[in-house]
Structure 1
């Protein structure tokens, strides 16, 4: 069973090598790796090209933002499973994709998700936040739950059946897509109880109170576009659930060698 992994990057020369190394170093042997560059001018293109045929498909051209580039990558994908790894992020050890694919086989699920740690952008040994997703329960989205999108691996057929990222959703496009796949269309999930992705801190939606309020409005729109009705507290429970992530500690061995 083949997996397509997609990295979207724009002027990411500072960190993209960490990301690529974590993919090409995976022990799973049936990986199609797609890199979609938005027309970088900082040396990113040369870095990606230096990996030669270890990058299965590479395109560098202007796009309409992050989610447009992700959609482009999904359109290029030929694998049974699709995963997205942002250019600032990386897999914590070489067996991540093997573990993900084993769970797909064992559970016969539509999507696999796991846990995430956020780290300092420069000192990646310094953990700033631990997102333990936990097991999914029916209607969990109504209580503010969602899996971390970078840990979300999906059968390609779900994109074909239920659509790609909505470009009008801006920073909430990943939330809307998971709401659509999981809550609306009842995709069967399997939880991999381990840290799947290490993320460098600096997300747009949580960068300020104004951004958080804007993201809350976009979250509300996500429910409306899918003709779904949240509870009154749903959209505030979502950011409130994140508070505990700043005080939780990840497993000591999550970055095994």
Structure 2
């Protein structure tokens, strides 16, 4: 089974080489790595061009943003499965092999794994059950976008919503759950998440929160329990207790 890995890069010269290597050196070899250089103005393109591997498919064009780039990569993907990789992170050597086996064994449509940022594992084990439900996610998105692995047909028939410049993954996960797709999470640590001051999550935190709430509403869920950054201690504590209760009854 062929796996298509989607990687969009914008001014990622400090990280892109390690990200690409982590995919091309996977223990699972039947893959293609679709790299979209999304209008980078630094040395990103020259670093990508150093790689001489027939499995690497490079699209070099003007900047369109992450959401459009991912949809473009989905359109040209030829694998039976799709895997994400962010340009500033890297995957462990056995990631694809492990996730493919996990998806097969669990009968899932999409699977996620645990990420590590050098200090913390994400999500923490008490934040998510192995079977993911919308009731768990409406408190907030605890899934690392780059860790998703799933059936290509699902992505091709349910593309990222291009109205979501940020948080496009959260909107898609809620939509797929609403449609009845099976999503599972594994505690296997297979992905390293690089946190830095120029990352999307840092630079656009407030906009991401706004779009996350819009994603909940768009898909017919209640945003009352979404944990907002400005929530007081009492409100946050209550929401976290309620989430743990939901996780407990869904176990």
TM-score (norm 2): 0.81
Q: Distance in 2 between matches of 1:12 and 1:145?
A: 24
The 5 A counterparts of 1:25-174 are 25-92=25-92, 94-118=93-117, 127-132=118-123, 133-138=128-133, 139-144=135-140, 146-161=142-157, 163-174=158-169
Q: Distance in 2 between matches of 1:169 and 1:151?
A: 19
Moved more, 198-207 or 9-18: 198-207
Query: Which residue is equivalent to 2:245?
Result: none
Moved more, 13-22 or 32-41: 32-41
TM-score (norm 1): 0.79
Question: 210, 223, 244: which one pairs with 1:217?
Answer: 210
Aligned-residue Cα RMSD (Å) equals 2.4
CA contact (8 A) 2:13 2:43 kept: yes
Once the two structures are superposed, residues 159-213 of structure 1 have per-residue CA deviations (whole angstroms, 9 ceiling, x without a partner) of 233x21222222221111111112x112112322211210110343445xxx544
Q: 1:146 to 1:200 in 2, by over 3 A?
A: closer
Once the two structures are superposed, residues 206-245 of structure 1 have per-residue CA deviations (whole angstroms, 9 ceiling, x without a partner) of 45xxx5443322112112322x1215123439x969xx9x
Secondary structure, in 3 states, of the residue corresponding to 2:224?
Answer: coil
Q: Distance in 2 between matches of 1:186 and 1:236?
A: 27
Once the two structures are superposed, residues 14-50 of structure 1 have per-residue CA deviations (whole angstroms, 9 ceiling, x without a partner) of 2111101111110112111111101334232222122
Deviation at 1:134, TM superposition (A): 4.3
Structure 2's unaligned 5+ residue stretches are 241-251
Secondary structure, in 3 states, of the residue corresponding to 1:236?
Answer: coil
Q: Distance in 1 between matches of 2:82 and 2:161?
A: 17
